[in-house]
Chain A
């Protein structure tokens, strides 16, 4: 079915997001699918700072920003107000990984637990890119950041794996949770449409590359994101009503590409290539994940 608003833009150009940033691609498509009857609540982050430099805004729908930690709480209030007025309006939150998996996590957990009818979209660029590439709970194992530096004492970079935020939110019994990747465009679009069709708290974990923090050529944004799913490093799945045992993997590459292909395109993983055992560890982790969960892939 063709979306009624597909050819309209609710996100205007002239914003200050870096050339090659994937976040505006995610935002423009979520808004095209949601349409004009939408209120956006934004957590602090690159997206908020770069799209609303006073007195200008890139948003063509009502937009609200309060603070870093409370986007989900603010959205809960907006939703309660809309409900009290007896109106039907889409409430969508956009938050980065810092504003979602770390700083805004408590508010998000509360919003989902209380069952607010809100779609929360996490655009995950895997570090605090806005303030200068500090590690976050979503930074993957082995990534260089300015607070997981690589040197003699620590040749790896970040020493802990990424928080499984989609599963954490699914464990709250959210009505719809999915991981998505704008490079896998049809799957991404279908998941946004599906998320819009559910009531209650919904959560989309969307991978978003950062040219500055991932250290890559801006033109390679989509190519790198595609490799994230084609290597199996960022699996795409959905979980309905918190039923994690019956999660559904929506994309499985016909042939998995080696993780090197994804890693070698990004400066933040360059140090790993001095130690083949680290790359092997990442490959083993991916293989183990698919060994364990691959059966959840349903065509």
Chain B
């Protein structure tokens, strides 16, 4: 058993990332980048947070977009290690660019 620290102090900030809560998921949100307008509402409301913003110029080019001009904007990407599949992103997406499908493992 690990030694308990004095006062129960945890000295490593944010180490809950060792818990891969993606295993909780029953339904899985999938972003269709050819429809995604990069409004970032999914990122804004993700409670984990399991949606991150890709800002790197080279990385951004890897994602489809409805228009070339949209490719300049940051891209929301789901981290399935942590996504619990609540579906808030799917429900809130204003252009219905997110599918919510049964998880298969």
Q: Which residues of A contact B (CB under 8 A)?
A: 7, 9, 11-25, 28, 51-61, 182, 185, 211, 217-223
Main secondary structure of the interface of B (DSSP, over half): loop
Most A Cβ at <10 Å: residue of B10, B47, B48, B100: B47
Q: Which residues of B contact A (CB under 8 A)?
A: 2, 4-5, 8, 10, 12-21, 24-25, 44-50, 53, 55, 79, 81-82, 84-88, 90-92, 100
19 A–B contact pairs at CB < 8 A? A7-B53, A12-B13, A12-B16, A15-B16, A15-B48, A16-B21, A20-B87, A24-B48, A25-B47, A53-B16, A56-B16, A57-B12, A58-B14, A59-B13, A185-B44, A218-B86, A219-B86, A219-B90, A222-B92
Closest residue of chain A to B53, judged by CB?
A7
Q: Beyond A19-B85, A52-B10, is A13–B49 a contact (Cβ under 8 Å)?
A: yes
| Bound CA–CA A217/B45 (angstroms) | 16
The answer to whether A28 and B87 have CB atoms under 8 Å apart is no
Main secondary structure of the interface of A (DSSP, over half): loop
For A222, the chain B residues whose CB sits under 8 A away are 45, 88, 91-92
| Bound CA–CA A58/B48 (angstroms) | 10
Closest residue of chain A to B51, judged by CB?
A13
The answer to whether A223 and B16 have CB atoms under 8 Å apart is no
| Bound CA–CA A227/B63 (angstroms) | 34
For B19, the chain A residues whose CB sits under 8 A away are 14-16, 56
For A21, the chain B residues whose CB sits under 8 A away are 47
Q: Beyond A55-B5, A57-B13, A58-B14, is A14–B88 a contact (Cβ under 8 Å)?
A: no
For A18, the chain B residues whose CB sits under 8 A away are 84
Closest residue of chain B to A219, judged by CB?
B87
Closest residue of chain A to B8, judged by CB?
A54
The answer to whether B91 and A57 have CB atoms under 8 Å apart is no
What's the minimum C-beta distance from A229 to chain B, rounded to whole angstroms? 15
Q: Beyond A16-B21, A20-B47, A220-B91, is A57–B86 a contact (Cβ under 8 Å)?
A: no
| Bound CA–CA A52/B8 (angstroms) | 10
Q: Beyond A9-B49, A185-B44, is A59–B14 a contact (Cβ under 8 Å)?
A: yes
Cβ contact of A13, chosen from B10, B13, B79, B86, cutoff 8 A: B79
For B47, the chain A residues whose CB sits under 8 A away are 17, 19-25, 28, 221
For A61, the chain B residues whose CB sits under 8 A away are 13
